[in-house]
Structure 1
Amino acid sequence: MSESPRRAAILHADLDAFYASVEQRDDPRLRNRPVVVGGGVVLAASYEAKRRGVKTAMSGRQARRLCPDLIDVRPRFEAYVEASKAVFEVFRDTTPQVQGVSIDEAFLDVGGLHRIDAPPVQIAARLRERVRDEVGLPITVGVARTPFLAKVASRVAKPDGLLLVEPDAEDAFLHPLPLTMLWGVGEVTATKLGSYGLATAGDVAMLGESVLVGLLGPAAGRHLYAVVHGRTPERVVVGTRRGSIGAQRAIGHGAHPPEFVRAALLGLVDRVCRRMRTAHRTARTVVLRLRFEDYSRATRSHSFPHATSSGADIGATATMLLDAAGDLIRERGLTLVGVALTNLESDAVVQPQLSFGPVDTGGMDSAVDAVAARFGSGAVMRASLLRTGDGFSAPMLED
């Protein structure tokens, strides 16, 4: 039996500067101008701003020093979610084999279409045209044999590009690239390898697996060895449910009153709990995410004995974790707060909890969800948020 031929049939589709592109699409005055989306911290930057050195997670003050004519736009996350849904409709109309990675990118397997449709690179070109014509956004697509190589191809092709990596040209494409272009290789790993004179994927490919394990540890060393030799998985993963639901808010630099941070966190809790209940899920673990003035990060988590969808229980746990991190926050200064719910389960079977209190929070959650579903998420909010604002919560891709 002959071995099936290797094909470059995996697409990585990645919207360009997604939040900023949506703003430029919706406001013609912003087109071809340097734009950032944020509120003290840059959440997204247009390519006009990126060419001036502006980067995501940079402070607004630093960004304006690099680009004095920068236009700062407040986030509109509901608009971004709607744009994402429209783009994913195009993805799923192209092929049922879609693996969402985030709100603005996905892998598509079009290998099964080669007998009834065009070659993968033509499908990719058509997808780009449809996203531009139907949604009004630029998108870059990489086409390769594996999801990893397709992801790297889209990075190289940005912005608004299309790049095909043929199976017999993978080494020629990958090996000249700097290590930071490889998916999963961060600045810390690249710097460590650079201290040994290793600057490109080709440099690393000359080393044995045992050498990389010695330098980076077992998991990272074996992964990088597989990456530079084209031995990463060849299939996209579809049909799985998300393992977490989360949101975050950039609160800018400077000192923040504890009540402000607490209100921002509870606003995020309300939002992720509503999304979780809409998806008919419950959670066993609450994760608090913090980012500090020096751009370092920290997480704290707590797991319940039984999964829950109670906003009151999750909110109390999140604030408990925040209070426990108080010394770290005062020492480093907080610029971003986030919350994620993990260990998600179906709400079809929920273990009832014996309550010794007089309040039925489940009924209150249901009532608030119903109002939000009918009149919008801003129709009901915590009183503490009327003064501090409901925050910049960056939603992940919906199920």
Structure 2
Amino acid sequence: MSTSTEKPPRWIAHVDLDAFFTSCEQRDQPEYRQRPVIVGAMPGNRGVVAAASYEARKFGIHSAMPIAEAARRCPDAVFLRPDMKKYQQASQQIFEILGNITPVVEKASIDEAYLDITGLDKLVGPPEIVGHKIRRMIQDAIGLTASVGIGPNRLIAKLGSEANKPDGLTVVTPDQVLDFLAPMPISNLRGLGRQTQKIFNRLHIQTVTELRAISLQILKENLGEKAAEKFHRQAHGIASDEVITNRQRKSISKENTFGSDIHDHNVLHDMLRKLTAEVARTARREMLAGTIVTLKIRFEGFETYSRQTTLAAPTHDERVILATAWSLFSNSNLPNKLVRLIGIGISGWEENSTSQADLFEPSANNVHDKKILEAIDTVTEKFGKPILQVGLSRKN
């Protein structure tokens, strides 16, 4: 007589509030419901969209779009300045609710979290019941909708929450993982940059099914060992199931590996400009401001250097970060060689609240902020998923 020692499946949930900023405004102002609502700068000012309601998204409006473009696309939209105090208060209530469901909650941003709900079937019910309870408790307590994805690991949970937005629930059991992933465009996978996308295009890989059909050895030959193994694991639904409470990311960083080694400083500056804007946008979304700017650069022959400096005051302003990073590049006695990779990071956090709103529209009382955030130049469509590339003026 044999006995099974198979462990019960792990269950990880990803909870993502739907259009969080604008949903808070529509909740509090009934006259805004069913109308396109845009939170960010006000039309007539230089600034960007912080958030767009689903009604506004039908006009192609998205976060980080220049406010002038948003107003052109939907002049009848409701335009509102961010009310960060309101959003933070709602976020606090949400995390209190999640903490009453399970003590193992990891805050991913102001409006999303990972939960370890393994074992709750004995107390609450199967994952579907837990997911419905999460959505119902949030709706009943604060009048907002959330999309929930539940699966055996973080990757599947995150993709699940994205699958049925808004106000959706997707549960993927371990034996459903491969079928769930199979039809997805590879752009849904994590860590897919432009250079990797070009390689996948060359290999005629557009879906997860096509990625699985390529041997790991061929992927290593084209992507390198580390990246090949990462995408191979994702294609087979293998990812971390760890949820860490009280986690705050140590840093936010972005880097780019060039298709061919670069020496042109204008090209390097342009790439650093784009990477910096992505880093700054992430910091603003998570309401973080950092004091440490780090530049990473890898030359031909894989000779890698890292340079960093500490700012006098915390920032999540891409102009400040870019100017600091370029100064590090120009004044650090780096080798005069071809560059293979360049990256930028910010750390040394100070949580930020009151200054958040001013980053979407320059403050009338602050001359420095009048030139804030020149925004998105281009939006590309790859595999049906918008990829935003943000840029700043070359003047710093």
Give the TM-score normalised by structure 1: 0.64
Residue 189 of structure 1 deviates from its aligned partner by 3.7
Residue 18 of structure 1 deviates from its aligned partner by 1.2
Residue 198 of structure 1 deviates from its aligned partner by 1.2
Partners in 1 of 2:137 and 2:27 — Cα distance? Answer: 15
Say which of 39, 42, 49 aligns to 1:42. 49
Residue 6 of structure 1 deviates from its aligned partner by 4.6
Question: What's the secondary structure of 2:122's corresponding residue?
Answer: coil
Residue 206 of structure 1 deviates from its aligned partner by 0.9
Worse overlay, 94-103 or 55-64: 55-64
Residue 42 of structure 1 deviates from its aligned partner by 1.7
Partners in 1 of 2:288 and 2:52 — Cα distance? Answer: 29
How many aligned residue pairs are there? 301
User: Any stretches of 5+ residues in structure 1 without a counterpart?
Assistant: 247-267, 278-282, 289-299, 305-310, 329-338, 346-371, 394-399
Say which of 133, 148, 157 aligns to 1:150. 157
Q: Which residue of 2 aligns with 1:342?
A: 347
Q: Which residue of 2 aligns with 1:23?
A: 25
Residue 58 of structure 1 deviates from its aligned partner by 1.8
For residues 1-399 of structure 1, the aligned pairs below 5 Å read: 2-7=4-9, 9-39=11-41, 40-186=47-193, 189-244=196-251, 285-286=292-293, 302-303=308-309, 312=312, 322=323, 325=326, 342-343=347-348, 386-388=365-367
Partners in 2 of 1:70 and 1:276 — Cα distance? Answer: 29
RMSD over aligned Cα atoms: 3.9
Contact 1:8 1:143 (8 Å CA) reproduced = no
Partners in 2 of 1:323 and 1:234 — Cα distance? Answer: 37
Residue 320 of structure 1 deviates from its aligned partner by 9.3
Compared with structure 1, are the counterparts of its residues 19 and 287 closer, same or farther at alpha carbon in structure 2 (3 Å cutoff)?
Answer: farther
Compared with structure 1, are the counterparts of its residues 134 and 20 closer, same or farther at alpha carbon in structure 2 (3 Å cutoff)?
Answer: same
Residue 286 of structure 1 deviates from its aligned partner by 4.1
Residue 149 of structure 1 deviates from its aligned partner by 0.4
Question: What's the secondary structure of 1:117's corresponding residue?
Answer: coil
Letter in structure 2 aligned against 1:130: M
Question: What's the secondary structure of 1:386's corresponding residue?
Answer: coil
Taking only the aligned residue pairs, the percentage that are identical comes to 34
Residue 109 of structure 1 deviates from its aligned partner by 0.7
Contact 2:291 2:314 (8 Å CA) reproduced = no
1:271-328 CA-partner distances (Å, limit 9, x unpaired):
99xx999xxxxx872469xxxxxxxxxxx97335xxxxxx95668xx969737759x9
Residue 119 of structure 1 deviates from its aligned partner by 1.3
Contact 1:180 1:187 (8 Å CA) reproduced = no
Partners in 2 of 1:112 and 1:320 — Cα distance? Answer: 45
Partners in 1 of 2:250 and 2:326 — Cα distance? Answer: 25
Worse overlay, 68-77 or 219-228: 68-77
1:226-275 CA-partner distances (Å, limit 9, x unpaired):
101122122222354542599xxxxxxxxxxxxxxxxxxxxx9xx99xx9
Compared with structure 1, are the counterparts of its residues 196 and 65 closer, same or farther at alpha carbon in structure 2 (3 Å cutoff)?
Answer: farther
Residue 5 of structure 1 deviates from its aligned partner by 4.0
Question: What's the secondary structure of 2:51's corresponding residue?
Answer: strand
Contact 2:150 2:172 (8 Å CA) reproduced = yes
Letter in structure 1 aligned against 2:150: V
Contact 2:293 2:321 (8 Å CA) reproduced = no
Partners in 2 of 1:25 and 1:191 — Cα distance? Answer: 43
